[in-house]
Amino acid sequence: MGDNRPDNPAAIFHPLRPWLTRVAYRMLGSVADAEDVVQDAFIRWLRTERDSVREPEAFLRRIVTRLCLDQLKSARSRRETYIGPWLPEPVLDAEEETEDVTLPLMLALERLSPLERAAFLLHDIFGTSFEEVAAAIGRDVAACRQLASRARSHVREARPRFAVEKQRGLAIAQAFFDASRSGDLVELGAMLASDVEMHSDGGGKRPAAVRPLFGSRQVLQWHKALGVLFRKHGSKLIAIGSINGLPGFVTREADGELQTTALLIEEGRIAAIYVMRNPDKLKHLH
């Protein structure tokens, strides 16, 4: 039997770990980095004079936020040398979860300063008071309100405007998989919005479009070439589900590697396609 006494540091920390990991992942866009940050926070928690900590959850949230802010400073320089479009690591949402930060919103967060991102996520997404946000990021309350307000204006367009019913979204994902793998461009074209975008992250490790594709014509041309490869070498469907709050699917491609495809659907049409091919960002799905 484990020791569940309140003075046992692991017993206090363990129930908070999933929530802290969610915060860190939404700050960093990396599952591995988020897990490392939370583990680092646990080590710091073990070394803390815990008798003086009145609210462990708020205390740990501050630690995780500050560790994430430190990570973001180095991450920004790494992104500048990243090969091709950068996407956050895909996370398959559990059945019972309602995703609060979709993939387009995570991309919009990338354009914010680290402090703006922290203020927006902690207050607008996780419901933390501005007083707590101020303690977490080391700014006064008025400054935190301004940071969150600026962030809000930048990400407004990335918030979902039209909620797609879950089963309808999954049906469109299945139809997209079928049409893209069979090379049925007529069926594929009927699913796409005229201004559809496609973002493909290979990280320089696997072939992918070196820049985003814009418009149905470009996206269809790309899939016309892919259709030839799919018919020759196949693409195995592993799962259909929700990926970072969007309908999508996981496949195993001809090279044996996993791939995820997430679809932003607006008014029944596919408005954006997000394809993750970088094997370093798919390790957690194996």
pLDDT for the residue numbered 48 = 87
pLDDT band with cut points at 50, 70 and 90 for residue 155:
confident
The answer to whether residue 23 is domain-embedded is yes
118: containing domain: 103-158
| CATH code for the domain in which residue 107 is found | 1.10.10.10
Domain count, the chain: 3
Residue 15 and residue 20: Cα distance in Å, rounded?
Answer: 10
User: 8-43, pLDDT tens digit by residue?
Assistant: 888 899 999 999 999 999 999 999 999 999 999 999
Contacts of residue 138, defined as CB under 8 A and 6 or more positions apart, other chains included, come to: 66
Considering the domain architecture, whether residues 172 and 191 belong to the same structural domain is answered as: yes
The C-alpha atoms of residue 39 and residue 84 are separated, in whole angstroms, by 30
Query: Does 179 share its domain with 196?
Result: yes
Q: Do 55 and 119 reside in the same domain of the chain?
A: no
pLDDT tens for 231-256 read: 778 889 999 999 999 999 999 998 88
* Whether pLDDT at 108 is above 50: yes
Strand ranges (E), 182-282:
192-201, 213-214, 236-243, 246-252, 258-266, 269-276
Q: Is there a single domain that holds both residue 133 and residue 192?
A: no
